Every structure is written in C-alpha cells, then in structure tokens.
Chains A and B, each alone.
Chain A
C-alpha cells in the first residue's frame, strides 16, 4: 500500500519536474533481468563479500567455482543461464541497509546473503518469505536438509519456517596463551568449570608484568562483538537467555551476575584493560595483543583461530607462527557447574550467516536450484578446500574437519552446547542496550543503577509487558 502511494507521488512529482526542466530523454529501465523463463536467464547473487577484501574467500569461491560450475551444469541440461555476482564487502550495517532498500523497492538479487539475526526483521517487513513459498515444492524435497542439524537450520529460520540455508556454523570458546599460563604457574591443559576458576587463572596471570590477564568484550564500540563474545555467553552460563517464552530479558538477577563479573574484571580487580574495549578499533587491537602474547585469556569465536591467528601465508590478519603450540582453547564454563541453560556445565553462543531467496525473483525455481547447488556437499567441499571452516552439513564436516583438531573440537564439543540469538526484529536494539549496560559498568557505574537503566531501555524498546524482570 505504502509503497504504491509513495511510488505514485514520486512518479508524479518526477514527471512534472522532468517535463518542466525539458531535460528530456527516457529514463533507463531498471537493470533487473526480465527475460521470460524460456530464453536466456540471468540470476544474481549478492553477499557481503568481495574479492581482495572482506570475506574474499567466499567471493573468490563464488566467482571461480560456483558460477562456472553452475553455468556449465545448466548448459548440460540445455539451459542458458548466466550468474552475476554483486560483490559488496562493507560494514554489516551498511550492507543490511542496502539489501533492505533493494528488497523494499521490489528489486535486489535473486539470492541474498544475510546474517541469521536479520531474518526475523526482514520477514516481518515482508521483504523475504519462507523458502518453500518462494522456491516451490523442490525446497522441501531437497536432500540437503537431513544433513543440516536442526539447531543450525534454526539460524536462518523464523517462526518455525525456513527462510534460508545457513552457510556455516561457529562456536565460541576461551582462547588462552599457554606460555603465559606456564609462566604464571597454571596448568597448560586448562579446563575451568566455573567463572571463579577463570577469575583465579586471571588473578595468577596478573602477576606477570605487562600482561592483560583476560579480555571480555564490552562497550558499544565493539558493537555486536560485545554481545556475542561477552554478555550472551556469560548470560547463558547463568541459565538465562536474552529472549524466551516469558519475554525479553530485563534487569534480572542473572544479568546482575553477568554485570558483576564485568565489574570484577574491569573495575574491582583490574584483570582486563578497560580502555581497550572503548577504542574504536579495540577488537583489532585485542587480536593483535593476543597474538603478541600480551593477553592471557580471550573469549572469541573459532574464526579467531581460522582467520586471525592462523599462521598460514596470507590467511591470518594477526598470524601467530607458533599458534598450534602456544594457543590453547577450552569450553566456556557456566557460572557454576550445572547453572547454564538446560542445566549445562559448559555453554557457547553460535551465530551464522546464510542465504535467502528473493521473493521478487523473476525465476524463483531456478534461483532455488542455484541455492541448492551452492549448498551441495560438493560445493562445500570446494568452498572449504583452502581454509577449513565448519560447514552446516554433517556429511561434509565428517571428511573436511578430520585432521583439524580445533574445528573438530568446536563441532563435537561446543556446537551441541551452543545457544542462538533470537531472530526477532527487536533483537538488535536489545543488544545495543546490553552493550550500553556493559559500557556503564566498565566506566564504574554501580551495577544496580545499570540494571535499572537497562530495564527502562528494554521496556522502551519492546514495551513493559514484554519484559521479563524475573
């Protein structure tokens, strides 16, 4: 409704002004492919990846493997299909804005890469639709689904419906520097079972000159990294979730425990560097410092291992030549054994990006074929050939993760314990409120005040009735 009204107004105003100006000339038709299904067909893919820049491995794979393979597979069936890749590779927020604008205007690529947590808000806005509605009956019949665990599928689902196919899975662990642990007289095979044990290790590390014992992401400068690698993994360790049937997390006792932990680390005991987490490039710096052996314990996702401290030529951005010997990893303990969600002893958070179909696609069934092709076992094997990462498919993981103890650990020990963020439209704002809360605590505000301010903030976002004050 709105779209057409605005369109009409815009069109009328535009026409008047263009005529008045006598600038003449027909405006070009939008560049969307509009050929009939019979003739040559163009499919477009957009993802936040670009060759030579952000997520280059994915972009190169799309250009060098996917497009030629798919085009020739289609050719073998006697169909003339061209696949165009619109590489982006910018800040996630900017990318999200762009695809939202495109979808809102009824345009956009046929296959769109997006973060799993955007699915809810895009679906609510009517920009995307359940896969089976767009791609037809072939979607539910796809044999790939049984290879993708439900929890992983959920990352791209909303309201019990599949909107897209996830392209990977990740988990979060505590990384620690074994050299520093040895220096501090700690066991190099570390497996803490409670927050207190983590803090004890940090206290021991504090004795070493020039070392930041533990860095737990906080503050607004790090954005979602604060929530995913800070607040939420701790929160699930108290048994709470940011959202459950009872509503959104309010200023509960559990959140209070998390904020107390922040206070202990940054304010009371000086176990972390409170300035680092406020810097605009603080997360980069934390990577570099960990790689330089200046941080003892760091909570990060498995890509930290794969893409940051990876010593392989040109892969890691803060490579550690002796990564395999020096860096240890261990599961994140619940506050105390058994206090985690579902009574777990260890916890983790997972997120995931994936790809959805554009409901406005001219060739939705063919687009689904391409999407299924992108998620075939063969595709993932070629995708992870260069740098191994965890794929969503069990069959592929069984072969590619072999020989990579770290990713096998994540896949087998961490993912089964992992929690996911709610794919709801309000989540990004609640996440921001959580980041604000950590920032205030680290700046020295009393935890009770911060909890009260947080409760107000959440109530302002989702309404009083949807807040669970526990």
Chain B
C-alpha cells in the first residue's frame, strides 16, 4: 500500500482537514443541546430557545427560596456516595474473587445476574422492592434506597470490573506473594492501584445512575425533606403540568454541576489510564 511520496502528502493534507471537520462536527453535536443549560438559567425570562441571556441571578435566588431544592442536592450526594461506597467495595471484591477463582459457569452466572438486574431496575419490580423494604424495615430510609439501588447496580459493576481484574497479570500477585504479602495487602497494594482506572470509572457510572434515578427514591422515601434532586425536579411543574422554566433551568444546572465536578475530580485524581504496557 505504499504510495509515491507527493500523492501521499496530498492525501495526508486532505485527511487532516477531513479529520478536523469531523471532530468539530462531533463536538458541535454534543455541545448544541448543552448550550441551553448554560444560557437559560441566567436569563431574566428563560424560554426554550437558546439566546444571549439578559443576565440575572434571579432564577437562582428563587431556587434558593425553594424549601427543598438545595437540600435535595445534598440528599442526592448522600445517596450517590453511599451507593458508590457499597457498590464499588463489594463489586471490586466480588470481581477480584470471580476473576481469580475458577468456578464452572462463572461467566454465565455473572451474565444471568446482569439480566436479572435489568428486570429489577425496571418498572415491574417496583412492588416487590417496596414490599421487601417494608418487611426489612428500611422503608423511608436512605439506607433502604442505597441498598435497593446497589442490588440493581452490582452485577454491572462486577461485570465491568472483572474485565479490569482479568487484565491484571497474575505474575504481579505471585511475586508479591513471594515477598510474603498477605491477601489483603496484595489487594490494596497490587490490585487496587492497577484496577484504579476501572474503579474510578465504575464510581462515576454508579453516581450517574443514582443521580438520575427517580422512581426508586420516590416510592421508598416519604418525606420531601429526604428526597433527592431527581424527584424534586419533577415538582417544578404546575397543576396542569406546565414546566416552570426559570426554576427548571436554574435547577438543571445546579443539579448537573456536582456530578460533572465529581467526574472531573475522579478523572484528574485517578484517570482512566493504564500505567505501562501490560503483557498478556
């Protein structure tokens, strides 16, 4: 496929231009819907159209006066971080164990759980989950919501993490063991550092799932003081279902910023990188 030099230069030039155009188009595709999120909240009278705002912070002021709005962000954080703690810890252990222990039909089992999780996170499992929480006495508690969400998210997390765990060479652990490291130490000093990009990734993924979940917290929690932002957002509609754009636009931004910020924090600290080439 080696072409003569001049033609290759032209082709190289053309392909660079095409590359830039495509990258710009892709960026525009993702950016376009997001522009409303950064203009409307600051507009004195937000509409659905993206336009240069008549700058004001009045929308945020009325949001701050709403008795539930800001507190709900805190509730979302509690639910999100709680679920991350449960799911990532248990998921990492389970994924590591599954990756190292040879159980017949292991992958099948994991996939079966993954399928079941799709049922449990759907509308139809609402009644069983609710009844279960009543029976175990966790109704109207944030713990209950965290556990219910964790159950639905764990299989996916184990599934994703197992891929990362599988890519850790056994030789690393073996040499650590030769130096007398205990399993806990191997986990902490060998496995976790290597799987860190994976852990960071599933943390963000779990946060995104919890952050947007409406149905579970809504049915499992009674008092509006403990409801997360995903539920409170739906209250900004009038009797006839009209959206209150000034509240919704400001709240959308406030609602989105923490999860974006956490993503950046996690990404900057842990990154989605592997260190060095892993030989398989």
A79 beta carbon closer than 8 Å to chain B:
no
Please tell me which one of the listed residues A6, A27, A46, A87 contacts residue B137 in the complex, with CB atoms under 8 A apart: A27
A312 beta carbon closer than 8 Å to chain B:
no
Supposing A52-B66, A53-B66, A94-B218 touch, asked if A317 and B135 sit within 8 A by C-beta, the answer is no
Instruction: Provide the bound-state CA to CA distance between A460 and B241, in Å.
Output: 30
Q: B residues within 8 A CB of A11?
A: 135
- Residue pair B240, A308 in contact (C-beta under 8 Å): yes
Q: B residues within 8 A CB of A97?
A: 126, 219
A73 beta carbon closer than 8 Å to chain B:
no
Instruction: Provide the bound-state CA to CA distance between A14 and B144, in Å.
Output: 13
B236 beta carbon closer than 8 Å to chain A:
yes
Supposing A87-B224, A90-B231 touch, asked if A27 and B136 sit within 8 A by C-beta, the answer is yes
Q: A residues within 8 A CB of B88?
A: none
Q: A residues within 8 A CB of B242?
A: 283-284, 287, 308, 317-318
A28 beta carbon closer than 8 Å to chain B:
yes
Q: A residues within 8 A CB of B65?
A: 52
Q: Which residues of A from 62 to 112 have beta carbons under 8 Å from B?
A: 84, 86-91, 94, 97-98, 101-102, 105, 107, 109
A55 beta carbon closer than 8 Å to chain B:
yes
- Residue pair A284, B241 in contact (C-beta under 8 Å): yes
Please tell me which one of the listed residues A54, A307, A308 contacts residue B237 in the complex, with CB atoms under 8 A apart: A54
Q: Which of A55, A90, A303, A318: most chain B CB closer than 10 A?
A: A90
Please tell me which one of the listed residues A30, A98, A284 contacts residue B134 in the complex, with CB atoms under 8 A apart: A30
Instruction: Provide the bound-state CA to CA distance between A466 and B60, in Å.
Output: 55
- Residue pair A105, B69 in contact (C-beta under 8 Å): no
- Residue of A whose beta carbon sits closest to that of B147: A23
A281 beta carbon closer than 8 Å to chain B:
yes
A51 beta carbon closer than 8 Å to chain B:
yes
Q: Which residues of B from 223 to 280 have beta carbons under 8 Å from A?
A: 223-224, 231-232, 234-244, 247
B75 beta carbon closer than 8 Å to chain A:
no
- Residue pair A303, B241 in contact (C-beta under 8 Å): no
Q: B residues within 8 A CB of A303?
A: 239-240
B6 beta carbon closer than 8 Å to chain A:
no
B132 beta carbon closer than 8 Å to chain A:
yes
A1 beta carbon closer than 8 Å to chain B:
no
Nearest 10 CB-CB pairs, A to B?
A53-B235, A27-B137, A89-B235, A52-B66, A10-B135, A105-B134, A87-B224, A284-B242, A317-B242, A50-B235
Instruction: Provide the bound-state CA to CA distance between A87 and B234, in Å.
Output: 13
B139 beta carbon closer than 8 Å to chain A:
yes
B86: min CB distance to chain A, Å: 11
Instruction: Provide the bound-state CA to CA distance between A317 and B45, in Å.
Output: 12
B46: min CB distance to chain A, Å: 13
Instruction: Provide the bound-state CA to CA distance between A55 and B239, in Å.
Output: 6
Q: A residues within 8 A CB of B138?
A: 27-28
- Total contacting residues, chain A, CB less than 8 A: 44
- A-B pair number, CB within 8 angstroms: 117
Instruction: Provide the bound-state CA to CA distance between A3 and B130, in Å.
Output: 13
Q: B residues within 8 A CB of A94?
A: 215, 218, 234
Q: A residues within 8 A CB of B238?
A: 54, 307-308, 317
- Total contacting residues, chain B, CB less than 8 A: 39
Q: Mark B38-81, 1 if CB is under 8 A from A, else 0.
A: 00000000000000000000000000011111000000000000
A29 beta carbon closer than 8 Å to chain B:
yes
B222 beta carbon closer than 8 Å to chain A:
yes
B131 beta carbon closer than 8 Å to chain A:
yes
Instruction: Provide the bound-state CA to CA distance between A317 and B239, in Å.
Output: 10
Instruction: Provide the bound-state CA to CA distance between A90 and B218, in Å.
Output: 9
Extra 9 A-B pairs, beta carbons < 8 Å, given A87-B68, A284-B241: A11-B135, A28-B143, A53-B66, A94-B234, A105-B130, A105-B131, A283-B242, A304-B240, A318-B242
- Residue pair A86, B66 in contact (C-beta under 8 Å): no
- Residue pair B241, A88 in contact (C-beta under 8 Å): no
B53: min CB distance to chain A, Å: 20
Q: 27 A-B pairs, CB-CB below 8 angstroms?
A: A6-B131, A7-B135, A10-B132, A10-B136, A14-B135, A18-B136, A27-B136, A28-B137, A28-B141, A30-B134, A31-B139, A31-B222, A52-B65, A52-B235, A53-B66, A54-B238, A54-B239, A87-B68, A88-B224, A91-B241, A97-B219, A102-B222, A105-B131, A105-B134, A284-B242, A303-B239, A308-B238
Instruction: Provide the bound-state CA to CA distance between A281 and B65, in Å.
Output: 27
Q: B residues within 8 A CB of A54?
A: 235-239
B140 beta carbon closer than 8 Å to chain A:
yes
Q: A residues within 8 A CB of B235?
A: 50, 52-54, 88-90
Q: A residues within 8 A CB of B139?
A: 30-31, 105, 107
Q: Which residues of B from 106 to 165 have beta carbons under 8 Å from A?
A: 126-127, 130-132, 134-141, 143
